[in-house]
Amino acid sequence: MKTNHEIDYRILGNEMQCVEIELDPQETVIAEPGSFMMMDNGIEMQTLFGDGSQQQSGILGKIFSAGKRLLTGENLFMTAYTNLGQGKKQVSFASPYPGKIIPMDLFELGGRIVCQKDSFLCAAKGVSVGIEFQRKLGTGLFGGEGFIMQKLEGDGMAFVHSGGHVIERTIQPGELLKIDTGCVVAFTKDVNYDIQFVGGIKNTLFGGEGVFFATLSGPGKVWIQSLPISRLAGRIMAYGTYARKEEGSILGGLGNLLDGDGKW
């Protein structure tokens, strides 16, 4: 028997998606601050200290839960949206950058998902949003984004967002998959996660992003994103800090016309 609230949903949009959650009377969904988009009249918002599943465990449990969220770079608080009206009500949450929203039924996925620390969007009331340390030395030293991850536990629906296109892979027992650390969105509880170093002087000097990568071994499922937010942010920063030296050049303003930046 499920202990989490059972919510209905639909995902809207293509590249900039949002998820619309349908709540029956007294049903609740929890979400990260800043993900809210819109809601029907009759839904009440309440700020929760911690991850939304520890509200009956006393002040120490709430502080411990909130502290774990701080380690993953998230807010101390979460927001709960409860349908206190008559009939069904809708509340919608939006993805913060271009990509896809992935619905995950934790009941069907073994009760636990490990995901990147910035990927959680919202979930049914009762789902625990905790912290997952990757304990191996290699992961801790070189894992970057993959060292401290989020852990979603429960038997309800949870929604995570990713950058770009998403590929879902099922890894068979004994199978090994090598992925860029930032491209790992989430994986099921039985998947073994580690970081592998690509040795050799040529790889170290000229390999670029291929020096370290994540290794995931089965059995289980893994979700992979084509555009990690760190990669997107890095490209934007590089573009924004690039200064074109037009003065004294042969082309000058004509160069801007040729690359599309000029104005007639």
Q: What is the pLDDT of residues 49-99, one digit of tens each?
A: 665 554 445 554 544 454 455 555 555 678 999 999 999 999 999 988 889
Contact 92, 10 (CB under 8 A): no
Could you tell me if residue 260 is inside a domain?
Answer: no
**C-alpha of 146 from chain center:** 12
Q: What is the pLDDT of residue 75?
A: 57
Helices within 29-148 (DSSP H only):
58-71, 137-142
CA 67/CA 131 separation, integer angstroms:
10
CA 73/CA 76 separation, integer angstroms:
9
Could you tell me if residue 256 is inside a domain?
Answer: no
Going by C-alpha positions, the residue among 80, 78, 75 that lies closest to residue 7 is 80
Cis amide prior to 173 (ω within 30 degrees): no
Segment 213-232, tens digit of pLDDT: 889 998 999 999 998 877 77
Which CATH number does the domain housing residue 192 bear?
Answer: 3.60.160.10
Could you tell me if residue 261 is inside a domain?
Answer: no
Could you tell me if residue 209 is inside a domain?
Answer: yes
CA 39/CA 122 separation, integer angstroms:
14
CA 138/CA 193 separation, integer angstroms:
11
Helix (H, G, I), strand (E, B) or coil at 20: strand
Could you tell me if residue 1 is inside a domain?
Answer: no
CA 151/CA 131 separation, integer angstroms:
5
Could you tell me if residue 12 is inside a domain?
Answer: yes
Could you tell me if residue 249 is inside a domain?
Answer: no
Q: What is the pLDDT of residue 231?
A: 78
Give the chain's radius of gyration (CA, Å): 22
CA 56/CA 77 separation, integer angstroms:
15
Helix (H, G, I), strand (E, B) or coil at 210: helix
- Whole-number percent of the chain with pLDDT over 70: 69
Contact 150, 131 (CB under 8 A): yes
- Please determine, for residue 206, whether its predicted confidence score (pLDDT) is greater than 90: no
Domain housing 208:
8-240
Q: How many domains does the chain have?
A: 1
- Whole-number percent of the chain with pLDDT over 90: 46
Could you tell me if residue 245 is inside a domain?
Answer: no
CA 25/CA 211 separation, integer angstroms:
52
